[in-house]
Amino acid sequence: MARIDLRGIAHSYDPDATDPIYALEKCDLTWRDGGRYAVLGPSGCGKTTMLNIMSGIVTPSEGRLTFDDMDVTEIKTAERNIAQVFQFPVIYNTMTVGQNLGFPLVCRDAPKEVMVKKVNEVAETLGLEGLLDRRAKSLTADQKQLISLGRGLVRDDVAAILMDEPLTVIDPDLKFRLRRKLKEINEFYKSTLIYVTHDQNEAMTFAEDIVVMDRGQVVQIGKPKELFERPRTTFVGYFIGAPAMNMFEARVTGKNVVAVGDVEFATETDLSKTSTDNIKLGIRSEFIELAAKKTKNAIQVDIQRVDDFGNFQLVSAQTGHNAIKVKVKREVAVPGKQAWLKFPKSRCCVYADEALL
């Protein structure tokens, strides 16, 4: 395994155009050896381009890619020692599970005893040891994905395992099993795992660190808790969390104070140096408190509807042209028409030109 660095990497599929459009904007990024990462973003955000640059399917139009400081930018996929797992299992149906797992070693002319030892070890880690003589065709989808993964693990020289939406074809009940396996593998083999997905649950469940992308840019790299509590841009606030972070157009009215309409909210953000008019106040639905009467840092709203999700209720409210969503426990009695919503000071995020202050 290796540390992977993207140094000033950028990619345009049409770099010679007068005003080229970049699928991946210039970025510097380090993937720690043995780290467990997710790359998260909507369709078209550039996450697959980034993955393809690391695997060698795409040669970046700018910048260098290094594995442990060795420049691999121009090196072909086959020579990069990258293992890949795709959305759909890529296995040889006519071979047995054991033959599938050993195939990369056969291709490298590994001695038979080395191969048998390695295949057995990987099969045991993946929980496939009882299935080595079975035809791969007869396995379930999650077992097949484990074989795709196992083929990366049998090689000692793999720099990283790249996974592109690997749980797409897996039944919801089995996803948990496979995700847990991936974590165990990462701990056991200390392998660098990079997992691309559009699904925040997948990303947050799997990764230690999440790289969030939007329109070709890396907008935040952080732990799940950081992405949830302190999203660095309004996009991250929208994209992470269900429902999305509540976002209000606001203006600065004091050193730590912003106003939404004519209601002022104290925050813990120093606003004395902000010069832009594009100010937004963000707060998570989970952090808003229902109040019976007027109180500090609260806004009066009309309750539009209350959705019963079983475990919790989602309150949709309106004030002026602002819609607000509040998540409350099942047992909380929600007022029928009007209510006061309190935004705790420490939970208010202020954004200037869409970036967190």
Partner 1 sequence: MDLIAKGLTYKPEDEFHLNDVSFGMQKGELYTILGRTLSGKTTLLKTIAGLITPEGGRMLFNDQDLGQVPVWERNIAMVYQQFINYPHLTVFDNIAFPLRQRKLDDGIIRGRVMDSLESVGLTGFEGRKIQALSGGQQQRVALARSLAKQAGILLLDEPLVNLDYKLREQLREEFRNIFSDKVSSNSILIYSSTDPLEAMQLGGDIIILDEGRVLQQGPAHEIFENPANTRVAEISNDPAMNLLSGAIDGSKIVIGDDIKLAVPAHFKSLTPSAYTFGIRASDVSLHQKGLPFKVELAEISGSETFLHVQSGRHTIVGLLDMVQNFDAGDVVNLKLDATRLYAFGQDGALVSSPFAGDF
Judged by the rule CB under 8 A, the positions of this chain that interact with partner 1 are: 42-43, 171-173, 176, 179-180, 183, 198-201, 204-205, 223-225, 228-229, 238-244, 284-286, 307-312, 327
Cβ at position 98, least distance to partner 1 in Å: 29
Give the shortest CB-212-to-partner 1 separation in angstroms: 12
**Measured distance CA(325)–CA(275) in Å, rounded:** 29
Q: Which is nearer to partner 1, 75 or 244 (CB)?
A: 244
Least distance (Å) from partner 1 to the CB of residue 23? Answer: 18
Task: Please report how close the Cβ of residue 68 comes to partner 1 at its closest, in angstroms.
Answer: 28
Min separation Cβ 197 and partner 1, Å: 8
Q: Measuring CA to CA, how many Å separate 187 from each of 66, 125, 181, 347?
A: 24, 11, 10, 34
Residue 109 tokens read as 């002319």
Q: 32 or 180: whose CB is closer to partner 1?
A: 180
How far apart are CB 153 and partner 1 at their closest, in Å?
20
- Measured from the CB atom, is 42 or 320 closer to partner 1? 42
- By beta-carbon proximity to partner 1, the closer residue of 47 and 280 is 47
Question: Which is closer to partner 1, CB of 5 or CB of 165?
Answer: 165
> 97 or 324: whose CB is closer to partner 1?
324
Cα separations (Å) of 63 from 108, 200, 211? Answer: 31, 29, 19
Q: What is the DSSP string of 148-201?
A: HHHHHHT-TT--EEEEESTTTTS-HHHHHHHHHHHHHHHHHH---EEEEES-HH
Q: Which contacts of 310-319 are long-range, i.e. CB under 8 A and separated by 24 or more positions? A: 314/243, 314/285, 315/290, 317/341, 319/261
Burial grade of 265 (CB within 10 A; 0-12, 13-18, 19 or more): buried
